[in-house]
Amino acid sequence: MSVEHTILSNGMTVVTHAMPHLESASLGVWVRSGSRNETSQQHGISHLLEHMAFKGTKKRTARAIAEEIEAVGGDLNAATSVENTSYYARVLKEDVPLALDILSDILLNARFDDDELRREQHVILQEIGATLDNPEDLVFDAFQDIAFQGQSIGRTILGTAKTVEGFSTGDLKQFLHCQYQPADMVISAAGAVDHDKFVRQTEDAFGVLVKPDVSVNDHQQASYTGGQFIQSKDLMEAQLLMGFEGHSYQDDQFYGTQLLASVLGGGMASRLFQEVRESRGLCYSIYAFHWGFSDTGLFGIHAATGREDIPELVPVVLDELLRACDEISENEVKRARAQVRSSLLMSLESPSARAAQIARQMLVFGRVIDLNELVAKVDAITPTDLRDLGQSIFTDTVPTLASIGPIDGVETVLSTERISGHLRRK
């Protein structure tokens, strides 16, 4: 695997994966700063900052940024998550210097014009409004908020109308200065890219960014709380999320928890899909997931169903969790391993996915993890491991429950106490 990395003189990391058979390259800047780095007064500023980076620099207007990248057939975008913010582009190999120049320009020379800020605040208010109209978005926001009550890791990425409208250009500049520090930034590229040349280009583009005297990029240690959020709303379906404390990227149990989520609800052959959807017809879709963070994790099960099916669906799901603590088979683990392995291999076929993957690994682990090492970790997990892991997750942690929809008359089923009691009957 032709992965190389270099630490620049200012502490910024450059990592590349050369794919000589490609004619294009994906590159970007990943910053170890997201919504959980915000104070309550800064709620939503990471996402607003990401938007404002494209609204003009000292040498490019917002329109010029779009026109320059599209003039060479490339594309440019960005994303904000709980723990990272990324700015990335995909271009033909000869246009890598242009893409790198634009990325450095929007991050180092953004103007933060007052008029542009007002327009973008309005755009984000519309984005918040669209979320409020979507019950699935709402239930996931409530789910994470109640799992980590009173903490930045539980707050929405978008912020609130009040906080977003209150930000000034000075707030954006201060947050950028504090959070976007070289040691917390990774420049990643995958595809038709030469590492040594890319390092020189990156040094030229980002070398002016200097190390701060004191590091202020920090976030609150996560503390899983669990709890419940129930909201009756006149909808066709009830959105339902049940969850438990998971494991962080750094935890030895992380890959096992990913496999457990796959066994339970990772596809049409999974336990929950077969029992809840296929055998009983209690919902159209149901799946399990596991979100890993740097210091914690969140395991969840999502389903959408009619009010009349909730009293049967909830105990059936809980029974499947209990059964998984007793009887996960080798064939199920093999199928879950195959899903993980195929996902890893498919990521190698996409320069965009690969650039993001190696950037995140550098931020989390300080190194790129070899594919064979990842596969070996996954292959070492046994059915007994997953059964024991299920026992510890489902019966030893406080549940999280979030539901929005037509739930009048079935509220007694939607209770963390009832969930805990059901799971601890074992």
Q: Which residue type is seen at 291?
A: W
CB 60 within 8 A of CB 45: no
Angle made by CA atoms 252, 183, 155, in degrees to the nearest 5:
65
**Per DSSP, what are the bridge partners of residue 18?**
191
Catalytic residue among 4, 23, 38, 50: 50
Going by C-alpha positions, the residue among 352, 407, 384, 59 that lies closest to residue 228 is 407
Q: Which single residue is written with the structure tokens 């707050």? A: 155
- If phi over 0 gives left and psi between -120 and 50 gives alpha, with beta otherwise, what is residue 224? beta
411 is known as an active-site residue: no
**Phi, psi for residue 87 in degrees, rounded to 5:** -130, 120
For 77, other C-beta atoms within 10 Å of its C-beta total 14
Give the angle subtended at the CA of 38 by the CAs of 32 and 42, to the nearest 5°: 140
Give the Å distances, CA to CA, from 342 to 98, 292, 318: 34, 20, 29
Residue 44: alpha-carbon gap to chain centroid:
16
367-393 burial code (b ≥16 CB/10 A, e <16): ebbeeeeeeeebeebebebbbebbbeb
**Would you name the residues annotated as active-site residues?**
50
